[in-house]
Amino acid sequence: MKEFGYQRAHDVTGAVALLATDPDARYLGGGTNLVDLMKTGVERPALLVDVRELPLDRVEPTADGGLRIGATVTNSDLAAHPEVRRHYPALAQALLAGASGQLRNMATVGGNLLQRTRCGYFTDVSQPCNKRAPGSGCPAVEGEHHNHAVLGASDHCVAVHPSDMGVALTAFDAVVSYESGDGPGEAPITDFYLPVGDTPHRETALPPGALITHVTLPAAPVAARSRYRKVRERASYAFAIGSVAAALDIDGGVVRDARLALGAVASRPWRARAAEAVLTGAPADGATFAAAADAELADARPLPDSGYKVTLMRNLVVSVLTELAGEDAR
């Protein structure tokens, strides 16, 4: 591991100023992803700016009935928060599915959103990777890609984003707030993650050196009846091969409102807008749920070894929506 400096930040402005002094500096939260990447040589920061003691560790109600979540809130604390469990249960389920208890106790909300892909070519510095070394190529296209993207990918990168929490936040229209050298800013989470295109190394809309400070969940009555389902290759702690965050509001057997986001299918958490359009105003039955899944997956472009994901995700979407509809009937 490359030798690095360490400095603890005591306020947000000071943290941003510290990073501005060194383009090779990185913020350190829980370190559950960054430290691993430092060990493999993917990340080689000259300076770590520790932000864990910044006053960003609270979950607070907003005036409109939503929640404002500090960037240093741990995944464990957020999953256990009574307002999250009551009003956004899919978010709590996603957090609990996301990692082991030890990791959840360390991982932070801001760090979770910024975690890097687990593609083996990205984490192996002996291999080319456009995300790590722009222009070097994407060996996954012809190589190992069974857990890679089927939506929104390009010839330049077919890796998937690993966050479970991000999938639930995407379903509920979260807004990411940050502080930069030019002052505060914010971005809806669907704009926060950039399309992969021909610049896979540019993953988010954060300005250089910006620090995530909060994530805001707007009030969403539909989210109170929501679910997160994750499929993985082993029952213990593992990254998803497919996941769904879904919420339904049903009135008289008809879907009044629907939220749907997919995980492990694209370079970012995937908001299923086409599926939501099919669901809204339609009967809450198996035929509608299948049509919604088909509409979202119509543009899927799997590689030879990732084609199973299209069938997996179709079945997963139908299963989760059916369970939610069954809860409404009881």
Q: Give SS3 for 158.
A: coil
pLDDT of residue 100: 86
pLDDT for residue 17: 95
Q: Which residues contact 102 (CB under 8 A, 6 or more apart)?
A: none
Let me know: does 248 contact 209? Beta carbons within 8 Å. Answer: no
Residue type for position 110: G
Angle at CA 180, nearest 5°, toward 269 and 13?
A: 125
Q: What is the pLDDT of residue 235?
A: 79
> Are 293 and 314 a contacting pair, CB within 8 Å?
yes
Least Cα distance to 159 among 112, 117, 199, 128 occurs for: 117
pLDDT tens per residue, the chain (330 residues)? 789 999 999 999 999 999 998 889 999 999 999 999 999 999 999 999 999 999 999 999 999 999 999 999 999 999 999 999 999 999 999 999 998 889 899 999 999 999 999 999 999 999 999 999 999 999 999 999 999 999 999 999 999 999 999 999 999 999 999 999 999 999 999 999 999 999 999 999 999 999 999 999 999 999 999 999 999 998 777 899 999 999 999 999 999 999 999 999 999 999 999 999 999 999 999 999 999 999 999 999 999 999 999 999 999 999 999 999 997 655
Per the CB < 8 A criterion, the answer to whether 158 and 148 are in contact is yes
Residue 291 CA neighbour count, 13 Å, CB half: 12
In whole angstroms, give the CA distance from residue 171 to residue 223.
9
214 CB-near residues (< 8 Å, 6+ apart): 56, 68, 69, 70, 71, 176, 177
116 φ, ψ (degrees, to nearest 5): -95, 165
When computed from its CA atoms, the radius of gyration of the chain, rounded to whole angstroms, is: 20
- Name the 3-class secondary structure at 251: strand
Return the pLDDT at 53.
94
Task: Return the pLDDT at 21.
Answer: 86
Give the pLDDT confidence score for residue 328 in this predicted structure.
Answer: 64
DSSP 254: E
Output the pTM of the full model.
0.96
pLDDT of residue 115: 95
In single-letter form, the type of residue at position 96 comes to L
Query: What local confidence, expressed as pLDDT, does residue 144 receive?
Result: 97
Nearest-CA neighbor of 131 among 104, 108, 149, 112?
149
Q: Which of 132, 118, 140 is nearest to 263 (CA)?
A: 118
Q: How far is the C-alpha of 97 from the C-alpha of 164, rounded, in Å?
A: 7
pLDDT at res. 238: 86
Tokens of 33: 């992803």
157 secondary structure, DSSP code: B
Strand-pair category, 183-188 with 211-217: unpaired
Q: Which residues pair with 255 in a beta bridge?
A: 250
d(CA 35, CA 50): 12
Longest dimension (CA), the chain: 63
What pLDDT does 129 receive? 98
Half-sphere exposure of 310 (CA within 13 A, CB side): 16
Measure the CA angle with vertex 149, ends 143 and 150; round to 5°: 110
